[in-house]
Every structure is written in structure tokens, then in C-alpha cells.
Structure 1
Amino acid sequence: MSTIEVSNLSKSYGDVQALDDVSFTIPDGEFVVLLGQSGAGKSTLLRCLNGITRPTSGSISIDGTDVLGPRNDVAMIFQQHYLLEQMSAYSNALTGALGRTSFLGSLLGLYRDADKEEALRALDTVGLLNEANQRAGKMSGGQQQRVGIARALVQEPNLLLADEPVASLDPASAESVMRYIREAAAERNLSTIASLHQVNIAREFGERFLGMKDGRVVFDGYREDFTVDVIDEIYGDIETEAIREEREVEA
């Protein structure tokens, strides 16, 4: 668990302003959904939080310590799960402990007993303990993404990031994966930021919402304030099916 402080964060790529003076605070254990059109700055923000991308200006701190590069206590769940398909679900989950394992130990598969136990616990958290020995390449897309969640949990993070984790899944699998992410975060009291484009799924699983547009945060609030007008502000003229559904609900 961690408190995240983002202060006056900006990132430019030449003449392109990807992030423009972004500031927010996320307390311990809060589950935040990040929304916005393609190009709004969501992925750049997540990469800065993960330490992969250095901001042009501003700062990010986790429990008072500045993020200056990749950190073992920040874990990422990707849209493409990047599993080793020839390895089992258990072996893939266990790779989350690489940051705590020597190079030689990782080559020989010599992980600590505590890490092995954590891999099994993480697979249990995402409902895959009985499939621990199944080869990842034979799993469905939803199951593979759940292995990706388990791998991130084995990293024992304080901050969990998810970059469009359900974008390539069918609606039923998407809801299942988001439910497991939400439950895992609650069980471990993890501060979590999940980037989503499906507004209906965001409304179902989000506690707090950050809406981005043109590199800026245009909305920061909770479910009761996340109205159709706010969605319109975030997405502009894009009349998605989700927005139409929200209009019907509020009508």
C-alpha cells in the first residue's frame, strides 16, 4: 500500500505536449480508473508512474520517495500479457519475483520458498490455482490476462498499474478480469490505477475516476459525480455506445 503524489507533471515529445501540468494524490488502497480518448495522455502518465518514462517537468513520489526510474514496488498489468507461452501458469507467475532473485538463481529456477508460496497464492487470488500447471499458450485470453495479474502480484507491489488490461477481451472475460483485479487490490490494500476505454466497465468497477483530455486532467471525482455530462467533457464528440447507455439510464 502506498500514497501517490503527482505534482505539476508535464511530458513533451518535441512539439507534442503529452502531459500538461497534471497533479493528483492517491491515498493508500484507492482504486482509480483512468479514462480518456486515444492520445489523451493516459499511457504516458502510466509510463511516468512506472518510471519507464522521465517527465519533462514535475514530480512523482511514492510514500515521499521520488520516482526516478523503474521500481520493484510498482507493478504493471499490460494489455498484451507478454507471457512465456511454453511455460506453465505457475512458472509465469513466479517470474514476478525476478527482482528479488539473483541472475544465476533465475536461470536455474532457484526461487525462494516464500516466492513459490506467493506465486500459488496469487494464482489462487485470480481463480487459477487448479490450472497452475497448465501451459500458458493453451489458456484462453482471459485466463492469460489473469496469469498476468498473478505475476504482478508476485512482484509484491505497493502500486498496481493496469494499461488497458481488458481492451482485447470479450465483454464477459473483461468483466471477469476486472473483478479479479479489483478483488486482488482490495485483498492486498493496493493503490491501483487502471486505464480503461469501456465506460460501462469503468462505472462498474471504479471508485474514483480521473478523466484526461489533451494531456490534462479534466475530471477528478467519485462515482456520484461521474455523470453523462462529465463523460461528454472527457470524450468530446465521440458518441460511444457506453455514453448512449448512460443517457438512457439517467433519462
Structure 2
Amino acid sequence: MSNAIHATNLKIGYSSDSILAEINDLEIKQGEIVSIIGESGIGKTTFLKNIAHLVNPISGTLKVFDTEKAPDRGVIGYIPQKLGLIKHETVYSNVLEGAICNESIFRSISGFHEEKVVDKVKETIELMNLSDKIDEPIKRLSGGQQRRVAIARTIAQGSKLILADEFLSELDDKTVENVWKAMLDYVESDNITLVIVEHNIERAKLAKRCFKFEENKERNCSILSEVVA
């Protein structure tokens, strides 16, 4: 099975004078579901941003699908803590923003969307149990509903790798159960790699493998290691 993510001697942060974390050797296979835990500000979100090519590593090697180059449009789906939804637009329009990654640039700009794209939008909105909110503007939704819209947008994108930063927060226990099952069914059906950042240990245990960033005073940064059950 090929690697979805492979990091070697990786140092991350926002300045070479202040390294936030080190990842010495990490392999995540295609189709694996893993979680990353650790205290606030220790490097979890920064690592996801490095994988998503939103931030560059300070040094070392980070390969996503066997290349250090930024992947093609839509290959990586990212659910950030700050959801990045367009508040005055509807649920449908926001989820469509993910689905149009599968269209030509012309169709995306012109607004003449393929039937399969429209169907994908409606399907993922239904998957997140938001069909009754499809024409509602985001600003009228609760925090938990907005989070489900962000998840639907990423699923509609059809990514091979999904990076989810605290994506189950703001959801009640029953909704967490339903959303997790929907996400799990989706990624397992298409052999999609899922990496979740969690502060909630019980939620982190939902993943098949778990990694933890821990402070290393000798290195003056955090180190990522696998948690062995």
C-alpha cells in the first residue's frame, strides 16, 4: 500500500529561529484513518497546514502521495477550525464551492454546472442531515450546523486525503455519532486517507492509529510519536 503522507526529519513552525515541532519519521498509508492529539499551541494545526501546502516546512522532507510538490486542485480536502464559510451565501452555495473542484474552470466560473456536480452537492448535504437547510444562508445556522456544512463541502470535493481540524467540535453526542459514521463510511468506501486533529481523547480513539505531540525540553520543541494502546 502506497503512502499518502511521508515525513522525514521534518521541522515545522513559522520561523527558523523558533521551531515549533519535529516529526522524525512518519508514514501514513493510503486509506488509513489517524488522529493527532496534544496540548494547544504545540503544533497540531501547523502540521496539517504543512500537509495541505498552506505553510512551508522549515526543513526536512514532507511528501504527499509521493511528491513534495503541491497536489492538483481538489486532491486534499481541509476542514479548518475556522470554517471559512461564506456567511451570506446559502448552504447549497457553500457546498458547491467544494464540488466544483471536479469541474472545468469554465464551468466553475460560468455557473453552468454538470448534473453530477449538482447531484453530489445535494447528496452530501443530505448526508449531513441538512436538506431542510439547503437554501438557508450560513449566518442563520447554529455553530454545529455550520460545522456540518464545512464537512459536506469537503466531502463534495471528492478528495483523496482529508485533513480535519477539530471537525467534531460544537456537535452534540448524537450528532457526533452520526457525523462520524457518515465520514467513516465515506472514507472507507473510497479508500480515502483521513487525518483528524482532536483535543478530545475519546474522539481521537475513534481513529485506527493515534499520534501525539509532546513537549521535549531538550529539543526546545514538541516531538510527534505514535501512541501505542
Normalising by structure 1, we get a TM-score of 0.76
- After alignment, is 95-104 or 187-196 more displaced? 95-104
Corresponding residue for residue 137 of structure 2 = 135
Corresponding residue for residue 11 of structure 1 = 12
- Asked if 2 retains the 8 angstrom alpha-carbon contact of 1:125 and 1:180, the reply is yes
| Structure 1 position 209 matched with structure 2 position 181 | no
Q: For the residues of structure 2 that align with 1:172 and 1:199, how far apart are their CA atoms?
A: 17
User: What is the CA deviation profile of residues 181-212 of structure 1, one whole-angstrom value per residue up to 9, with x for unaligned ones?
Assistant: 33332233210000010112222x22110111
User: What is the CA deviation profile of residues 88-120 of structure 1, one whole-angstrom value per residue up to 9, with x for unaligned ones?
Assistant: 222211101344456664454222222212212
Amino acid at match of 2:210: F
Select 2:64's aligned residue among 56, 62, 65. 62
Q: Structure 2: 5+ residue runs without aligned partners?
A: 216-221
Q: For the residues of structure 2 that align with 1:75 and 1:118, how far apart are their CA atoms?
A: 15
How far is the alpha carbon of 1:159 from its aligned partner? 0.4
Q: Which has the higher strand share?
A: 2
Give runs of aligned pairs for residues 226-241 of structure 1, distance below 5 A.
none
User: What is the CA deviation profile of residues 51-86 of structure 1, one whole-angstrom value per residue up to 9, with x for unaligned ones?
Assistant: 111112222223322244785200101222222233
Q: For the residues of structure 1 that align with 2:57 and 2:172, how far apart are their CA atoms?
A: 34
Q: For the residues of structure 1 that align with 2:71 and 2:4, how far apart are their CA atoms?
A: 18
How far is the alpha carbon of 1:175 from its aligned partner? 4.6
Q: For the residues of structure 2 that align with 1:121 and 1:188, how far apart are their CA atoms?
A: 16
Q: For the residues of structure 2 that align with 1:187 and 1:100, how far apart are their CA atoms?
A: 19
Q: For the residues of structure 2 that align with 1:94 and 1:102, how far apart are their CA atoms?
A: 14
Corresponding residue for residue 197 of structure 1 = 199
- Asked if 2 retains the 8 angstrom alpha-carbon contact of 1:145 and 1:177, the reply is no
- Asked if 2 retains the 8 angstrom alpha-carbon contact of 1:84 and 1:136, the reply is yes
How far is the alpha carbon of 1:50 from its aligned partner? 0.3
Select 1:124's aligned residue among 126, 130, 145. 126
Q: Structure 1: 5+ residue runs without aligned partners?
A: 226-251
How far is the alpha carbon of 1:142 from its aligned partner? 1.8
- Asked if 2 retains the 8 angstrom alpha-carbon contact of 1:99 and 1:155, the reply is yes
Q: For the residues of structure 1 that align with 2:66 and 2:16, how far apart are their CA atoms?
A: 30
Give runs of aligned pairs for residues 39-54 of structure 1, distance below 5 A.
39-54=41-56
- Secondary structure of 2:31's partner? coil
Q: For the residues of structure 2 that align with 1:202 and 1:179, how far apart are their CA atoms?
A: 14
Corresponding residue for residue 219 of structure 1 = 226
- Asked if 1 retains the 8 angstrom alpha-carbon contact of 2:76 and 2:160, the reply is yes
Q: Which has the higher helix share?
A: 1
Q: Aligned pair in 2 of structure 1 residues 2, 125: CA closer, same or farther (>3 Å)?
A: farther
Amino acid at match of 2:24: V
Moved over 6 A (4+): none
Q: Indicate the RMSD between aligned Cα atoms, in angstroms.
A: 2.6
Select 1:28's aligned residue among 24, 27, 30. 30
- Asked if 2 retains the 8 angstrom alpha-carbon contact of 1:7 and 1:22, the reply is yes
- Secondary structure of 1:3's partner? strand
Corresponding residue for residue 158 of structure 2 = 156
- Secondary structure of 1:65's partner? coil
- Asked if 2 retains the 8 angstrom alpha-carbon contact of 1:126 and 1:150, the reply is yes
- Asked if 2 retains the 8 angstrom alpha-carbon contact of 1:44 and 1:53, the reply is yes
Give runs of aligned pairs for residues 167-178 of structure 1, distance below 5 A.
167-178=169-180
Normalising by structure 2, we get a TM-score of 0.83
